[in-house]
Amino acid sequence: MRPTNRYAFHDELHRLPVTVTLDNLPFGVALLRGDGFIIWSNMEGARLLGRPQAALSGQSFPEIWAALTDSAPSLVLDRLKSVSASREPMARATARLRIGVAGETPVEWTCHALDHDGRSDAPSLAVSLRDLSREEDLRSERDRLAAIAEEAPSPVVELDRDGNMLYANPVMTAWLADLGYREDGTPRILPQRLSRLVAQCLRSGEPMQGLEVSLPEASFSWTLCPMTSHGLVRGYGIDTTRIYKTQQELILTAQEMRDVNRRLDEALTVAQEAARAKATFLAMMSHEIRTPMNGVIGMTSLLLETPLSPEQKTYATTIRQCGESLLHVINDVLEYSKIEAGKLELESIDFNLRDTVEDTLAQFAQQADAKGLELTGLVHANVPIALRGDPARLRQVLTNLIGNAVKFTQQGEVSLQVFLEEDSPDRVAIRFDVTDSGIGIPPDTQAKLFRPFVQGDSSTTRRYGGTGLGLMISKQLVELMDGHITVISSVGRGSTFQCTARFAKQADSPQAIAPSDDLAGRRALIVDDHESSRRVLRELMRGWGMIAETVEDADTALHRFMETMMADGTPFELVIADAIMPGKDGLQFVRELRQRAEGRTTPVVLLTPLFQRGYAEQEQQVGPVSHLQKPIRHDQLQNCLRKALALTSEPPARQAIRPDLSMEERAPAAHASRRPSLLIVEDNEINQKLAARMAEKLGYRASIASNGREAIEALAKADYDAILMDCQMPVLDGFETTRMIREREAALAAGETRKAIEGQSPRHIPIIAVTANAMKGDREQCLAAGMDDYLAKPIQLETLRSVLERWVPVPILPSGRIGRRAIASHSDVDTFDLAALEANLGGDHHLIRQLVVLFVDQHRARLAEIKTGLETGDATTIERAAHTLKGAAGNLRAGKVASAAGRIEELVRQGRLNDATAAYPRLESEVLRLVRILDRHRQEYDTLPRVA
């Protein structure tokens, strides 16, 4: 009985024993109807066609083949029809099939016409498929092995079982041409009785070594290796012409060792030369860029000191900011060079992980607020927070990741979550997830994202800026912390950067969120339109034991508040609401809540952006409301909730003033009777004008020498209080000039030239190096040459002021009455606001004097700590000293010092030690100016008893 459906023949085939045989074939077979539809395929065919065997029946072979080979189904069908019509087999063809994700599979295929009895469901075509992958691999392996022989520096031959040469590599061919053949036709370079040796080698199946050939022209040692499966022998020769037979192995080994060592030495020399060339190139480029930038930034700074219209001031400020941005780029490149050289090391100190994370987030609050982004952070409950490691480098990594997230996100949110990956008694592995809703990263870019100088694509670089070094530096830092960094991103939907790091645990390392006895069991309603913010609040409050419920808008919150009250008569004890929400904002919500009798007395905490203005006045209109600034910090939220729930009334602790510190001795300012004179040694005309103008603005008299020789001549004619010395100059550079000046001073001191230079007493002239080089070791080189201090171009006014005041301060001429007027005449209220200080302390002059004495006594120690920390890279010391100095200056109402110290503190928290070093001169200058004013102010209180 004939089958009555299209699959009937398929069913018949399955019942035939031949299908078992076909299934075991090493190549694929597919039986097709005349229209190209598959009736049956064996297992290998199904594998190559990328379908289950049972699913192939009834499928269109042309459609499947076209999809696998990226061709047109109609062309495949035409080829099949041509075979069916001509009854001639199709010429064998090769194709590469894309099967799944395993890549491409090379296949050879052909098609044959089959005889059939006219049944429409009977197969009329047979397609055979042969996987060529193994053949390609073998061919590749053969080519690789052949290449080894071809490139070998020694003779290599292949012989048949009779000793006939089947193959010779190029070296062997050259020796054959030089040495020729014996009378019996065998090559002279090969051992005698070669056919016997070959037969013996094949019989034993073992290599034959040490087969010596000694000729007048050369000597060789041969090794014959059997290839028994092919009936061949491969011979490898070693030239032993210059080696004595009795010392063959020893001398050969020694020679090979000498060759290896020589190559290593050559490679080391090349690497050292390349490193020196790279360092020289970076130094040269730094010099070449910094020299013109010195003029741009310096002249702009001077321009900003002159009367300008608002529009002109905006233009000038923009120019200076652009110049400073270029300097940041240079610093990034130098940091990259330091990493490449392996000079980057981590410190190991105690730190609080939660504080580090929250401080890092806080620095982006203003930037995120300006773009309307929600910025959140959460250290999950089970994460230990008392750790030991390098918090500055961790902040540097997080700063880069969060900064990128904020930069590349135009709307939505940026969040940082911290998870515990691994925990042991003494170490932990922590994972940091930085997620944004920004532009996303294309897949092809993700693979190369952590390479240097890579940042998305060229359009992204033009739009968002940056060097493309940040992620590479972050990757290196994370790997130094025994971690790794990855990215998960989708274009248009945002990105998540995940990095892990390992830290040691302190002896007592509490978890990030611990239950709170006084908050446990309290019911709270959270209203925020951002899911990430709701999640942070919910996790924190539930970790403290509170019962927290979240909703996303004001109307739902009001409904839920009343619903809960009506359900069990127990309202929420606390409501936390975001101030800025779509529809009804936080203030409108509170206003409507207060209109209900049930909500009039419910404590409300309003979440406000850190830099949002005007909420205090609006809050007064809706009654008592606590407020908390975003991004949310653990301790601030906990204290705010306690205060809102009236769980604590403890006033903040008052820091005691230490009256037991003595005044330090201070040397009187040199040259108080006149303006100090500077000799500026500089070959660049623009830099000459800039340095001279800056010096004059700072109260100095300036003279100019265009090179070292002119400087020596100028010193012979006049005295100078200090020298600003450029290092790279024609005729006589700064290093050689300094050496000659120091020799001259030594001669004067020894009295050797006292008669020749009458009237000049030996003294040490401060020489301050001024150079556009900013590579590691430049400062040390200048100091080793006899210079006293170091300034890197571009020079800024505050930096120059700081250095000069350290060596030759401009004297403050005595005035008549000292007091508030004297202070005002020498500084504005930002330096020292005496009126504000007196108002704050209620006119307590005795306390003011104590504060002044404390600051004057301690300022040098704090500056020394900061400077030493910058030189050694001790971020913790810098941050602590800067914080202390900022607080002390704030107590004195010394705004400029407080601002400068706070700037350094913030830069160090971000891990930007290079920028902190650049900001130090301004801090030092402001502190020295403040101390001089305070010294004068203190004279008003001479009648008061000194602090013991």
Q: Which residue has the tokens 């500077």?
A: 678
**Which residues, at least 6 apart from 782, have a Cβ–Cβ distance to it below 8 Å?**
727, 735, 769, 771, 790
For residue 468, pLDDT over 50 is answered with yes
Residue 346 CA to residue 481 CA, distance in Å, equals: 8
Radius of gyration of the chain (CA): 42
Residue 718 CA to residue 741 CA, distance in Å, equals: 14
**Who has greater pLDDT, 421 or 651?**
421
Which parts of 751-844 fold into alpha helices (H)?
778-784, 797-807, 820-826, 834-840
Residue 226 CA to residue 160 CA, distance in Å, equals: 10
Q: Are residues 359 and 499 in the same domain?
A: yes
- Residue pLDDT, tens place only, 161-187: 888 988 888 988 998 888 889 888 889
CB atoms inside a 10 Å sphere around CB 407: 19
Mean of pLDDT values over 138-154: 81
User: Which of 289, 316, 343 marks a domain boundary?
Assistant: 343
Q: Are residues 126 and 168 in the same domain?
A: no
Does residue 385 lie in a domain region?
A: yes
DSSP 3-state of 582 = coil
Largest separation between any pair of C-alpha atoms in the chain = 136
Mean of all residue pLDDT scores within the chain: 80
User: Which of 105, 132, 159 marks a domain boundary?
Assistant: 132
What pLDDT sits at residue 456? 52
Does residue 650 lie in a domain region?
A: no
Write the DSSP symbol of residue 18.
H
Domain region containing 164: 144-343
User: Which of 598, 623, 645 marks a domain boundary?
Assistant: 645
**Percent of the chain residues topping a pLDDT of 90:** 20
For residue 768, pLDDT over 60 is answered with yes
- Residue pLDDT, tens place only, 503-512: 999 988 888 8
**Nearest of 424, 433, 345 to residue 387 by alpha carbon:** 424
**Who has greater pLDDT, 943 or 666?**
943
Mean of pLDDT values over 46-56: 89
Mean of pLDDT values over 505-530: 87
**Nearest of 636, 417, 429 to residue 531 by alpha carbon:** 417
Are 334 and 831 contacting, i.e. CB atoms less than 8 angstroms apart? no
> Which tokens go with 297?
């930034």
Amino acid of residue 199: A
Are 525 and 605 contacting, i.e. CB atoms less than 8 angstroms apart? no
Torsion of CA 933, 935, 939, 943, to 10 degrees: 130
Residue 700 CA to residue 811 CA, distance in Å, equals: 10
What pLDDT sits at residue 458? 44
The count of C-alpha atoms lying within 13 angstroms of the C-alpha of 461, restricted to the half-sphere facing its C-beta, is 11
What pLDDT sits at residue 660? 33
**Which residues, at least 6 apart from 293, have a Cβ–Cβ distance to it below 8 Å?**
323, 326, 327, 793, 794
Q: How confident is the model at residue 190 (pLDDT cuts 50, 70, 90)?
A: very high
Q: Are residues 298 and 162 in the same domain?
A: yes
Q: Are residues 172 and 209 in the same domain?
A: yes
Torsion sign across C-alpha atoms 104, 105, 106, 108: negative
Are 42 and 22 contacting, i.e. CB atoms less than 8 angstroms apart? yes
For residue 752, pLDDT over 80 is answered with no
- Residue pLDDT, tens place only, 10-46: 556 555 566 677 788 889 999 998 888 999 899 989 9
Q: Are residues 175 and 319 in the same domain?
A: yes
For residue 789, pLDDT over 60 is answered with yes
Q: What CATH number did the domain enclosing 893 receive?
A: 1.20.120.160
Q: Are residues 396 and 457 in the same domain?
A: yes
Residue 320 CA to residue 315 CA, distance in Å, equals: 9
DSSP per-residue codes, 137-154 = HHHHHHHHHHHHHHH-SS
Cross-strand partners of 109: 93, 129
Q: What CATH number did the domain enclosing 53 receive?
A: 3.30.450.20
Q: How confident is the model at residue 4 (pLDDT cuts 50, 70, 90)?
A: very low
What pLDDT sits at residue 319? 80
Mean of pLDDT values over 105-124: 81
- Maximum mean pLDDT: which of 507-516, 824-833, 850-859: 507-516
Are 211 and 221 contacting, i.e. CB atoms less than 8 angstroms apart? yes
What pLDDT sits at residue 775? 57
- Residue pLDDT, tens place only, 567-616: 766 678 899 988 888 888 888 888 888 888 777 888 888 888 754 544 55
Torsion sign across C-alpha atoms 43, 46, 51, 53: negative
Does residue 657 lie in a domain region?
A: no
Q: Are residues 294 and 205 in the same domain?
A: yes
Q: What CATH number did the domain enclosing 440 receive?
A: 3.30.565.10
Does residue 755 lie in a domain region?
A: no
Does residue 281 lie in a domain region?
A: yes
Does residue 769 lie in a domain region?
A: yes
Q: How many Å separate Cα 705 from the centre of its chain? A: 44
For residue 668, pLDDT over 70 is answered with no
What pLDDT sits at residue 107? 92
Does residue 324 lie in a domain region?
A: yes
Q: Are residues 298 and 430 in the same domain?
A: no
What pLDDT sits at residue 401? 92
* Percentages (nearest 5) of helix, strand, coil residues in the chain: 50, 20, 35
Q: Write the CA distances from 873 to 571, 590, 784, integer angstroms.
A: 54, 50, 21
For residue 824, pLDDT over 50 is answered with no
> Which tokens go with 646?
């009236």
**Nearest of 314, 453, 470 to residue 405 by alpha carbon:** 470
Q: Which run of H or E residues covers position 126?
A: strand 125-131
To 5 degrees, how large is the angle CA 464–CA 465–CA 469? 120
For residue 708, pLDDT over 70 is answered with yes
Q: What CATH number did the domain enclosing 707 receive?
A: 3.40.50.2300
- How is the beta sheet containing 93-98 ordered, strand by strand? 38-41, 28-32, 125-131, 104-113, 93-98
Q: Write the CA distances from 543 to 35, 39, 59, 225, 536, integer angstroms.
A: 69, 64, 59, 74, 11
Write the DSSP symbol of residue 160.
-
Q: How many Å separate Cα 763 from the centre of its chain? A: 49
Q: Are residues 792 and 861 in the same domain?
A: no
Q: Are residues 399 and 498 in the same domain?
A: yes
For residue 828, pLDDT over 80 is answered with no
What pLDDT sits at residue 842? 55
The total of structural domains in the chain comes to 6
- Residue pLDDT, tens place only, 420-448: 999 998 999 999 999 999 888 888 887 77
Does residue 556 lie in a domain region?
A: yes
What pLDDT sits at residue 667? 31
**Who has greater pLDDT, 422 or 648?**
422
CB atoms inside a 10 Å sphere around CB 120: 12
Q: Are residues 269 and 321 in the same domain?
A: yes
98-102, 234-238, 398-402: range with lowest mean pLDDT? 98-102
Residue 186 CA to residue 196 CA, distance in Å, equals: 13
For residue 816, pLDDT over 90 is answered with no
Residue 822 CA to residue 818 CA, distance in Å, equals: 5
Are 226 and 201 contacting, i.e. CB atoms less than 8 angstroms apart? yes
The count of C-alpha atoms lying within 13 angstroms of the C-alpha of 824, restricted to the half-sphere facing its C-beta, is 6
Q: Are residues 527 and 633 in the same domain?
A: yes
Residue 56 CA to residue 65 CA, distance in Å, equals: 12
Amino acid of residue 434: V
